């Protein structure tokens, strides 16, 4: 009997661009990681651990397996701002260097670390040894404080490029999400790491969320959708006099597809009741917007348009060209290979092993 995988591999194989781009990924909410706690997450095929220092409360991200002997660091213990491996109790500092009273470890075996930042109530980790670009910030965050609300994570059996393409499909926006363009959309390259789609639309749907959106927007929605690093999408909207943003991270998770995590933000201090209500409303409207896509994404085998029948098809081709130019995250350095240790004695100088028979005698 043949057992089929939960998510068929042929669906995952339709990815455009690298399997896991070098990018910032939302891997957990800040509330999930208390001081002294350790979490395990996936970045593509690479397993990582996160821990929060007890003194500084800073988040550190390491490759999941100890560079010394391969113990899973999820079994470790946070000591101050350092991490102690469970196997030999070696201390690993936040920069990845080994320290403490344990025997000295060669510098070549330092623990692979990943850049990590906390923004908008979430923990973001860069898939790569060094961040090649700064963490993207929405425009309203430069004006003053913002109030955010996290959305529940969801895993889809499709690659990140399918999810991003679906989110930036201007034809799909009109056909499924009940929007009508009021003017031609624009698509432009911001820099080597970012492209942006901008549009102005009115609401044509009849769902409750559509009526609410039409009322608060005065039937004019101005939005920009920035694709950052390939697998991150920043949606910034001007809905009437209300400004919001949604930051979505499409994190590849091996052969299971992509896990989508998102935060919604509105202007205003988080302790104000009005800001809290606005954030809840914005999160509800965006979830209602996304719900229309859930069934469509099941068993999808999206691919780049082979014939440009519409302006939306032309935009998709340009988006896929952007995907193909992205740098890929190479997880091999997150699983350290055995290296010759310079501190070992030469083979000829080592004691001769005692055979099993000699040991019994």
Report pLDDT for 350. Answer: 40
State pTM to two decimals.
Answer: 0.85
Angle formed at CA 106 by CA 100 and CA 109, multiple of 5 degrees: 95
Task: Report pLDDT for 352.
Answer: 44
The H or E element that residue 322 is part of is helix 311-324
| Per-residue model confidence as pLDDT tens digits over 269-300 | 999 999 999 999 889 888 888 888 888 888 78
Domain spans in the chain, listed from the N-terminal domain onward: 22-126, 139-294+307-324
Model confidence at 338, pLDDT cuts 50, 70, 90, reads: very low
Q: What pLDDT digit, counting tens, does each position of 100-144 carry?
A: 654 554 445 789 999 999 999 999 999 998 999 999 999 999 999
Asked whether residue 3 carries a pLDDT value surpassing 80, the answer given is no
Cα(195)–Cα(287) distance, integer angstroms: 24
User: Top-level CATH class of 139-294+307-324?
Assistant: alpha beta
Q: Specify the pLDDT at position 12.
A: 46
Which strand (E) or helix (H) includes residue 279?
A: helix 273-297
Contact 317, 165 (CB under 8 A): no
DSSP code per residue over 98-155? EETTSPPPPGGGPPPEE-EEEETTEEEEESSSS-SSPPP--GGGGTS-EEEEEEEEEE
What fold does the segment set 22-126 form as a domain? Rieske Iron-sulfur Protein (2.102.10)
Split at pLDDT 50, 70, 90, the class of 57 is very high
């Amino acid at each position: 009997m043949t057992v089929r995988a939960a998510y068929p591999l042929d669906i995952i194989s339709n990815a455009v661009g690298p399997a896991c781009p070098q990018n910032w990924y939302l891997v957990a909410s800040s509330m999930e990681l208390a001081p002294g706690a350790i979490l395990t997450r996936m970045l593509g095929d690479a397993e990582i651990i996160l821990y929060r220092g007890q003194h500084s409360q800073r988040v550190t991200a390491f490759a999941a397996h100890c560079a010394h002997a391969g113990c899973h660091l999820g079994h470790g213990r946070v000591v101050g701002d350092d991490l102690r491996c469970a196997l030999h109790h070696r201390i690993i500092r936040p920069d990845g260097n080994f320290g403490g009273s344990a025997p000295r470890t060669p510098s070549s075996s330092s623990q692979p670390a990943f850049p990590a930042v906390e923004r908008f109530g979430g923990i973001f980790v860069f898939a790569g040894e060094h961040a090649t670009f700064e963490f993207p910030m929405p425009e309203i965050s430069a004006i003053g404080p913002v109030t955010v609300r996290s959305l529940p994570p969801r895993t889809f059996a499709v690659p990140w490029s399918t999810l991003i393409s679906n989110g930036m499909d201007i034809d799909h926006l009109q056909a499924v999400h009940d929007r009508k363009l009021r003017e031609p959309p624009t698509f432009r390259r911001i820099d080597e790491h970012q492209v942006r789609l901008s549009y102005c639309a009115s609401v044509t749907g009849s769902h409750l969320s559509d009526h609410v959106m039409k009322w608060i927007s005065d039937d004019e929605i101005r939005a920009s959708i920035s694709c950052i690093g390939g697998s991150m999408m920043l949606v910034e909207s001007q809905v009437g006099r209300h400004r919001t943003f949604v930051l979505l991270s499409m994190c590849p998770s091996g052969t299971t597809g992509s896990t989508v995590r998102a935060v919604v933000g509105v202007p205003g201090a988080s302790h104000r009741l009005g800001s809290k209500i606005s954030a809840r409303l914005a999160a509800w409207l965006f979830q209602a917007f996304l719900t229309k896509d859930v069934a469509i994404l099941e068993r999808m085998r999206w691919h780049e348009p082979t014939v440009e029948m519409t302006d939306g098809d032309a935009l998709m081709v340009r988006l896929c060209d952007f995907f193909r130019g992205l740098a890929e995250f190479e997880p091999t350095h997150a699983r350290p290979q055995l290296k010759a240790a310079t501190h070992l004695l030469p083979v000829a100088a080592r004691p001769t092993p005692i055979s099993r028979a000699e040991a019994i005698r």
